[in-house]
Chain A
């Protein structure tokens, strides 16, 4: 067992992926000489050379276009787009090429690309640096979308994403980069299949459903709720596409109440999908409508207002209380 921050855990996952598979290539803005603005690729260029770990121009569409070409030629590209908001110029390549090539070529040209995308808010960053794009990518057929909530999850999910034959959008919760956790990366991974969620705290009165940085926020909420005698289950969704309908149904059919929490704006956010899946599968057992606690339908605000925008402990508790009090009319 060693202690790792999420940054270090991701760095280790990239290191091991490069060691295990000569086809893995890492590239993006500042990932080589600098080692990444969040140090996730620190030391990798020195270890694996400039052929396998290299800096690109500031051109996100070009980064993803290059990934497509490299994948066609048999490589396993692991590009980084430095910040969520910078990936909008690359959406054309991602949607029109990365997601479709496998289908278009009748399965002859797989796209084993893992796009590392530092995502979400919480670090007082300027505009374009705090986007939550999971619903946008999850909506595109052909993409898988995943977000780790902890260093151990980060390590295993990144290894799993790189090994996966399909394109994966890997959303790193940047506010958790400095979170530390002890785990053994060499231990036979408690590997769950792609598309599986994980219950990170069991409970019986309601299920909190979250991913990325909101998982730790929900764990704080569950801790406080326990003081009030309310036992909340916390479900880390992990894979946002494919979504774990069975896992959601298993939990909510026991707790009979559900609150989904995400940083992205409310309207057409992934919470709507989660709510629908839960309602479709648990309609008869639900004691209350699924509640959503989310960001607001406005562009992500400046750092000074960030805490007002992100789902707060009190907003989540209020939603839980709403489900507890609900009575059928």
Chain B
């Protein structure tokens, strides 16, 4: 088993931090990738962050109503060894979608 700490991601629009509104998981919970993890509030809106990976929540680094900056630790997971990566995130498996359609030439 290994520990993986997830920082507050860059929320775009030049935002440099956020306030935790509500945790949607608790320490000890098993969380699947892409399930709702936490609601945070920025200066512009509220955002629900999905979990970037599966694992058991071992530590919530900030309490509700506390603020943190982008890049500061948000949550620590204990994960299976083959899920651990120290840099980057495990890519989500998305159903392929497209806008472009093909048409065969007549000949």
Known: A314-B98, A317-B98. 15 other contacts (CB 8 A): A35-B81, A37-B87, A39-B84, A42-B82, A122-B91, A124-B89, A125-B87, A125-B88, A175-B91, A205-B104, A228-B103, A229-B102, A302-B10, A321-B102, A324-B102
Give 1 or 0 for each of B90-107: 1 = CB within 8 Å of chain A CB. 110000111111111100
Q: Which residues of A contact B (CB under 8 A)?
A: 5, 7-8, 35, 37-39, 42, 83, 122-126, 129, 174-175, 177-178, 205, 220-221, 223-225, 228-230, 302-304, 313-314, 317-318, 320-321, 324-325
Q: Are B12 and A39 in contact (CB under 8 A)?
A: no
Q: Output the least CB separation between A9 and chain B (Å).
A: 11
Question: Which residues in B have their C-beta under 8 angstroms from that of A177?
Answer: 85
A60 to B49, CA, bound (A): 37
A314 to B99, CA, bound (A): 6
Q: Are B82 and A178 in contact (CB under 8 A)?
A: yes
Can you list 18 pairs linking A and B with CB atoms under 8 Å apart?
A5-B82, A8-B82, A35-B81, A37-B86, A37-B87, A42-B81, A42-B82, A123-B85, A125-B87, A125-B88, A178-B82, A220-B96, A224-B96, A229-B104, A302-B10, A303-B88, A314-B98, A317-B102
Question: Which residues in B have their C-beta under 8 angstroms from that of A228?
Answer: 101-104
B83 within 8 A of A: yes
| Total B residues in contact with A, Cβ cutoff 8 Å | 24
Q: Which residues of B contact A (CB under 8 A)?
A: 2, 10, 12, 81-91, 96-105
Q: Are A126 and B100 in contact (CB under 8 A)?
A: no
Q: Which residue of B81, B85, B87 contacts A126 across the interface (Cβ within 8 Å)? A: B87
